[in-house]
Each structure stands twice: as C-alpha cells, then as structure tokens.
Amino acid sequence: MIIVTGGAGFIGSKLIKALNRRGREDVIVVDDLSDGHKFHNIADCDIEDYLDKDEFRKIITGDDGSPGKIELVFHQGACTDTTEWDGRMMLDNNYRYSKQLLHYCLRSRIPFIYASSAAVYGVGDEFTEQPACEKPVNVYAWSKLLFDNYVRRIMNSAESQIVGLRYFNVYGPGEAHKGAMSSIACHLNNQLLENTGVKLFDASDGYAAGEQQRDFIHVDDVVAINLWFMQEPQHSGIFNVGTGISRSFNDVAKILIDWHGRGEIDYIPFPEKLRGSYQSFTRANLAQLESIGCKHEYKTLEEGLNDYLAWLKANHI
C-alpha cells in the first residue's frame, strides 16, 4: 500500500495517475477537501481509500487505528501559499505535521519521499543544496527549510529511506485550483483566453522587462523523479528537482502567444510589496541528483507548454 498526502493536489494527483499506469491501485489518498473542487484531480484515479488529513494525523500519532501495511509514503501535502503570513498555521501544516509523519515512517522503516521547495534559496543566485545558499524570505520557505534541517539532523541515523525534493517552478495539467499560486503559464493562458494582453513585470532586480528567469519544470518530470527514488530505495538525501535551465517570462509569454495566434505583452510596474522578496532568477544545480545516477531527460519549455496547452484545450479549460 502506498500513501500520497496532498493526493488531490497538483503533483500528488499526477503521482497517483502514474502509479495507476504501473498497475498500482493500492493507493490511499490523504488530503483536505475543504476546497471540494480538487476532487476533479482524482475523480479518474483508481485508489483504495481516501482519508481526511485530520483523520490521518490521528492515525500516525497513535490515537486512532491504522491504515494497514504501508510500503511507501509520498508526502506532497503542504500549505504552499508564499503570501501567507500566519506562521502558526504554516508551521503546523508544513513542519509539525511533516515531523509526525516522518517519525511514523521511521518507526516502521517506511520509505519517506517528501516535497520541499526551491523557495528555501530566497533571492540568491546559487541553488546548491548547501546551508550557505539557503536564505528564505517568507514564512512558507522558512517552514520548508526548517523541516529540511530537521531531516538533515537525523538522516544519518535513519534505517529507512528519506528523500527531500526541492521543486523548482512546476507547471502543467491539474494546477488550476491553486489560484494565485498556480504557474505563470497558467495565469498567462487565462489572460489570453480572456482576450487581454499578457501581463509581465517591468524591469526589476537588474533584469529587463519580462526577462526575469525561472527554472520551469513540467509536472510529468517531477513525477518521474519521485518514482525514480521509489525504485532506488538505497538513496536518501535532499535534492533539487528542476531542469537545470533558466528561461525568461518573455519566453513563456511568446510560446503561449504563438500557440493561440494572438496577444501582446503588457509590462506592468513591479509591485513595491515584492521588492527584496521575489525570486527574479532560479536555476537548479543538479549535480547532487546526477551524482547518484538520476539523469532524467526533461521536457523543454516548448515541449512542456505545448503539451500543457493541448491538454487544456482537450479538456475545455
């Protein structure tokens, strides 16, 4: 049996679909469906059971039954809102809950693969899995780094696999429910569907208008890296998950405009509230991931965005 927390979310639901394609239907989804719209992400998945997050927390803390024999946990559940400043809520969701689940897995020697974030690097220009590069600028990023550091302290004494995956800018099918936290590709596509010009930030942080750069990675590639670690339980550690290539927001906009055959770029003033806390550049250093033999062939931005746009059209989104 495999548990996927955040299983009704963006990456979690894609993991479940990938497991189904491998013949695995013994999957328990853990999530919080206060936003019931997320059910669409798993409506076509084959799963064994669904557990509310609060119910699951009672189980892993020893207060209420057992979900059965667990082979592996993919921990994708988190509050991912980078603009949320309720620290108590963020730390309970992203730190305390993660610690509870980690120790549940350690007690039973269950492999534990969890989602971290490139947000831990803040506004620096070096993206290597080293403390000197980690400078979070919001409470979300700090909650993720806090857990990464907790994992680092116990990693060497663990008797089962622990893997933290620092996702860079993930885009692709199934992200619409994320609202403001969905990818720039999702936002720009919605603007084009509304027949408005796509809006990008004007010059900032030494970058020309729209030339801020991110490491954009398709959700299918993120899922592939998760599944690689599932197949390689001898490897533990904290690893970047990106393509290792930066592309500009202008690149994203132009690909979308070409696909739709219409639209222009409108540059808007950079928001004052984001100055000093906005990642104008990200690029994953993949040396540590590749050093253990994980040398995945990633989709190019053109391939990934065209696949995404075709999916959106086919699903009338």
In the residue annotation, 178 being an active-site residue is answered as yes
Question: Cβ contacts of residue 70 below 8 Å, gap of 6+?
Answer: 1, 2, 3, 105, 108, 110
Cα separation, 9 vs 41, whole angstroms: 7
Phi, psi for residue 269 in degrees, rounded to 5: -55, 140
Candidate list 121, 140, 171, 308, residue with the active-site label: 140
Candidate list 53, 99, 135, 178, residue with the active-site label: 178
What are the tokens at 244? 């290792």
Contact 119, 80 (CB under 8 A): no
Given the DSSP bridges, would you call strands 216-218 and 49-52 parallel, antiparallel or unpaired? unpaired
Q: Residue 164's closest CA among 99, 212, 217, 219? A: 99
Question: Cβ contacts of residue 278 below 8 Å, gap of 6+?
Answer: 123, 204, 205, 270
Q: Is 82 exposed, middle or buried (0-12, 13-18, 19+ CB in 10 A)?
A: middle
Distances (CA, A) of 134 to 4, 126, 238, 278, 306: 27, 9, 13, 14, 33
Given the DSSP bridges, would you call strands 237-241 and 198-201 parallel, antiparallel or unpaired? unpaired
In the residue annotation, 140 being an active-site residue is answered as yes
Please state, as a whole number, how many other Cβ atoms lie within 10 Å of the Cβ of residue 212.
24
Q: Residue 240's closest CA among 115, 141, 110? A: 115
Annotated catalytic sites, by residue? 140, 178
